[in-house]
Each structure stands twice: as structure tokens, then as C-alpha cells.
Amino acid sequence: MLEGWLDYHRALLLAKCAGLDDEQRKRRPVGTSLMSLHGLVRHLADVERNWFRRVLQRQPGMPACSLRWICNHMIEEYAQHNGHADLIRELIDGTVSS
């Protein structure tokens, strides 16, 4: 079930980027923010890679976390940033998700 929710949120973020060219995905439509859709995708990929490595590669010196905890954390992280992506996409081209 957790894997399914994580896949759903990954796909949702990609859908929010669909139909935009590179310039649009990299655009930072809020003058006081460095956020872009491109940046959100990169951020989430880096965070996901970092968290899953802690469990799967059992890196020394890292606090132990269960795979369940990491999946829940990543679902929360994607959900939060998908909300940001909605706002960014609307500012870029007016597209509003339903």
C-alpha cells in the first residue's frame, strides 16, 4: 500500500510538469522564491535517494530507520511539494489541477 501511494505521488509530480518545455520547468514564477518545477523534481529525487540509501545500503554512522518510516516520510514530502507544484504550474501557464 505504501509503495502504491509513493508511486501515485511520483506520477502526480510528473503530471504537473507534463506539457512544459525546459524553460517553463526551470522558471521561477515567484520573485521572492527560488522554487521551480525542475528544482522540485531534483529536490525530491535527491531526498528519496538519500533516505532509501540509509536503509538499503545501511550506511555507517546513519541512524537506523525502518523502510516503513521512510516510505511514510517520502509520501508526506511528495504531498507537500505537489502542493507547491500546483501553485507554480498555475503561475506558469494557468493550468489548475483538479
User: pLDDT digits over 44-80, tens only?
Assistant: 999 999 888 877 777 777 667 888 999 999 999 999 9
Which of 58 and 2 is assigned the larger pLDDT? Answer: 2
User: How many residues make up the chain in this entry?
Assistant: 98
In a domain, 55, yes or no: yes
Q: Please list the alpha-helical segments (H only) found in the chain.
A: 2-17, 22-26, 37-56, 67-93
In a domain, 21, yes or no: no
In a domain, 16, yes or no: no
Q: What is the value of pTM for the model shown?
A: 0.88
User: In Å, how far from its chain's centre is CA 37?
Assistant: 9
In a domain, 80, yes or no: yes
Counted domains in the chain: 1
| Section 74-92 average pLDDT | 96
Q: What's the rounded Cα separation, in Å, for the pair 19 and 63?
A: 40
Residue 1 lies in domain: 1-6+34-98
First-to-last alpha carbon distance for the chain, in angstroms, is 23
Q: What's the rounded Cα separation, in Å, for the pair 27 and 92?
A: 8
Q: What is the pLDDT of residues 31-46, one digit of tens each?
A: 899 999 999 999 999 9
